Amino acid sequence: MKAWKFFRAFCFYAAILCILETLIFWDDEADSFFSFYWVI
């Protein structure tokens, strides 16, 4: 179960990064969308 919790935490962290990047670079959505999948 530890691995599952780590996986969930990682996905949550990646989602937050994507949202923050989208908010900061609102005019460049394609880049943040690509970065989100690059992180995963």
H/E stretch holding 33:
helix 29-39
1-40 pLDDT, tens digit per residue, is 788 898 999 989 988 887 887 776 665 555 555 655 555 5
> What was the pLDDT predicted at 29?
55
Domain coordinates in residue numbering, the chain:
2-39
Predicted local confidence at residue 14, as pLDDT? 87
CA gap 9, 36 in Å, rounded: 15
pLDDT value, residue 34: 60
